[in-house]
A = this chain, B = another copy of it.
Amino acid sequence: MTVILKGADTASAIRNNLTEAIHAYHLTPCLAVVRVGCKDSDLAYEKGLASTCAKTGIELKVFELPETIEETAFEDAFQKINQDPAIHGILLFRPLPSHLDEKRITQLIDPSKDVDCMNPVNLAKLFMGDTDGFAPCTAEAVIRILDHEGVSLNGAKAVVIGRSLVIGKPLSILLLSRNATVTCCHSRTRDLAGECRGADILISACGAANLVDETIAKGLDASCTAIDVGVNFVDGKMCGDFDFDAVSHYAGKVTPVPGGVGAVTNTVLAAHVVLAACRMAGYPDVKL
């Protein structure tokens, strides 16, 4: 009997911890969302985030800047937010319009407010195993689900499909730091089914519908936990990278799309904001 791992369960458990911490440490955490223009996808994400913040007790401040804003004006506005002691975390929607120097801007953000791991300083901390930074939220969401569901990472054989800078690579590093044996696969992998065979944990983050098909799925054991990070649209319907029927037929535990990892990502962002607020309030050792 396959267990469907709902992201909402993990998200709700995290939110409870956050609300408790906010009360225990008398925090007034505040997240600034910086948005240039108003793309539909950004607005949709912002809406979900607003709901998570409201449920948790985090203030959300949205800074909408005109799409034609010049570099210096953008930097001035951004630095004001960056230096505001009442703001604990900053989320900047990217990609920025092409006339803005995104690489330069990602390095401006105060690493202690960089709740979505935009600044290379936080990527380096992740790589070095320094836990006082922030990991990319989606990568961490995968780990949060595994932890919440009691899946042991220690010594586990984990296979990650995808090597992006925001998910595949940081997730591989996070799994490694938790003592998993990690194989990172991608579009050039010669024998994907062979690499996935016998995995204790299989994660796909490619953005390719049906990439993990029957051929791969049949190599999975009932002891396998399969996490689908893909977001694709086929005939207008959202789906992940898994052929869900095939994977759920073989693997013992599987996340759906929608309703899996995506339901946890913005809660991880909220957790980072509360963590940042704890650290700024003089509680550097709080774990959330």
Contact = CB atoms under 8 A, between A and B. Distances in A.
A249 interface: no
Binding site secondary structure of chain A = mixed
A186 B179 contact: yes
Interface stretch (A118-126, A211-219, A253-261): A118-126
Given A124-B120, A127-B127, A155-B190, A173 B169 contact: yes
A185 interface: yes
A176 B154 contact: no
Copy number in the complex reads 2
A173 B185 CA distance: 12
Interface string A192-235: 00010000000000000000000000000000000000000000
Contacts of A155: 188-190
Report which residue of A121, A129, A157 has the largest number of chain B beta carbons within 10 angstroms of its beta carbon.
A157
Task: List the 7 closest A-B pairs by CB distance, nearest first.
Answer: A120-B124, A124-B124, A183-B183, A179-B188, A181-B189, A155-B188, A123-B124
Given A157-B190, A157-B195, 19 more contacts: A120-B124, A120-B128, A121-B121, A123-B127, A124-B124, A124-B127, A127-B165, A163-B176, A169-B173, A172-B172, A181-B183, A181-B184, A181-B185, A181-B186, A181-B188, A181-B190, A182-B184, A183-B183, A184-B184
14 contacts: A120-B124, A126-B127, A127-B165, A127-B169, A128-B165, A129-B165, A154-B188, A157-B190, A157-B195, A172-B172, A176-B184, A179-B186, A181-B185, A182-B183
